[in-house]
Structure 1
Amino acid sequence: MRSERSWPPSRWTRFLPVRCPIMTEPEFSRAIRLDTLGAAPRTLTIAAEATERAALARRFGLLALDSLEAELSLAAEGEVVTLTGRLLAKATQACIASGAPVPAAIDEPIALAFRPAPTAGQPDEEIELGQNDMEVMFHDGAAIDVGEAVAQSLALALDPYPRAPDAEAALNEAGVKSETEAGPFAALAALKAKPKG
């Protein structure tokens, strides 16, 4: 299994390690000090403000991000912090064919583990995770950013190919064939319809 070390991860690598991008000021930052966490779960609710939602919409190419909040539970075991909870969001994406607005209502569980980042000069460790394992994010030993974790979870939850009701018509007008028209069965049907010489 491959390991992933850069953001954004694809929908098919959501169970692989994710390294946060280097940013001076993350759009939606909610830092939690590690020395405030223990084995007993700590619950919290976070919500993005209007300016934060606007910045995240630009980051993820959204037409709008009307709401973003998460109900989270944090528990630490040694240097590993487990985050679980639920992500709630309302966004507007652009149709991949026509650019028309496509509403998106997101209500999904979140589950990931924060682990210590590799030390300087040490290559990233290859981590192989099964389908039921959590995503992995790295921390600096002092704090974790649950806001950035929620932002990345939002990106994974968004439809990578949003389609408006007029998407098929827009694609046909642009000369793009549908899967039915371009598939192997369409080619077979064309052969059958061809007059025999």
Structure 2
Amino acid sequence: MPQHDAPRPTAETRLRVSALRQSGETPFLLEPDAQARADLAAGLDIEAVKKLRFEGRIVPRGRNAWELTAKLGATVVQSCIVTLEPVTTRIDAPIIRRYVPASQLAEPEEGSEIEVPEDDSLEPLGEVIDLQTLMHEELALALPAYPRKEGVALDDAQFAADGVAPMTDDDVRPFAGLAALKEKMEKGDGES
């Protein structure tokens, strides 16, 4: 019995929909080089993207629809929001996108409120599936918003000029003083 080899993953960053396999899968694997990772880090305003791998497949779903399933793996370095020291984070994120004709996506009526669709994996099908853009978007979404070095806590921030005692949180609570005054008056100590 002849053995069929699985198709080799493509490293192309933009796949023409007309060139995708109509039966079976179209595998892909993107592993950007050091310069591309440095450019991406600069675009994301982070210190570094040490490793980046985007691997998956695109399979047909009916006549005019495609499903992309992939795994995004990355090691990134960001600045700690407290100490500004480098923080290394490992990201492993599953990705699912369903590309369907734009006519199958609900268009909001003019002047109506726009609701977020329940299925956020739906994308309009164009002539090209841009894997590089998808990889960049998903990495940006997966980045920690407030990276912190392990064991570092965000203390109360205190800002004041030299020689001036900084205000505390209690100083900016105006009703705390009223509660104390009310309590003092109820005890009878508040007679004028």
Q: In which range does the TM-score fall when normalised by the shorter chain?
A: 0.5 to 0.7
> What do residues 75-128 of structure 1 show as CA deviations (whole Å, max 9, x unaligned)?
12333321102111000011223322111101111111234568xxxxx92475
TM-score (norm 1): 0.62
Amino acid across the alignment from 1:33 = R
CA RMSD after TM alignment:
3.5
Give the Å deviation of 1:69.
0.4
Work out which of the residue numbers 159, 168, 187 in structure 1 matches 2:154: 168
Gaps of 5+ in 2: 1-11, 109-114, 161-167, 185-189
> 2: CA distance between counterparts of 1:158 and 1:62?
10
Counterparts in 2 of 1:96 and 1:146: CA distance versus 1, 3 Å:
same
- What pairs up with 1:1-197 in 2 under 5 angstroms? 30-34=13-17, 35-77=19-61, 78-116=63-101, 125-126=107-108, 128-130=116-118, 133-141=119-127, 143-164=128-149, 165-166=151-152, 168-169=154-155, 172=157, 196=184
Amino acid across the alignment from 1:153 = E
Give the Å deviation of 1:64.
0.4
Counterparts in 2 of 1:163 and 1:47: CA distance versus 1, 3 Å:
same
> 2: CA distance between counterparts of 1:174 and 1:113?
50
Residues 31 and 146 in structure 1, CA contact (< 8 A), matched pair in contact too = yes
Q: Which has the higher contact order (CA 8 A, sep 6+)?
A: 1
Residues 73 and 91 in structure 2, CA contact (< 8 A), matched pair in contact too = yes
Residues 20 and 26 in structure 2, CA contact (< 8 A), matched pair in contact too = no
> 2: CA distance between counterparts of 1:134 and 1:76?
19
Counterparts in 2 of 1:79 and 1:59: CA distance versus 1, 3 Å:
farther
Counterparts in 2 of 1:93 and 1:167: CA distance versus 1, 3 Å:
farther
Taking every aligned residue pair, what percent have the same amino acid on both sides?
A: 28
Bigger-Rg structure (1/2): 2
TM-score (norm 2): 0.64
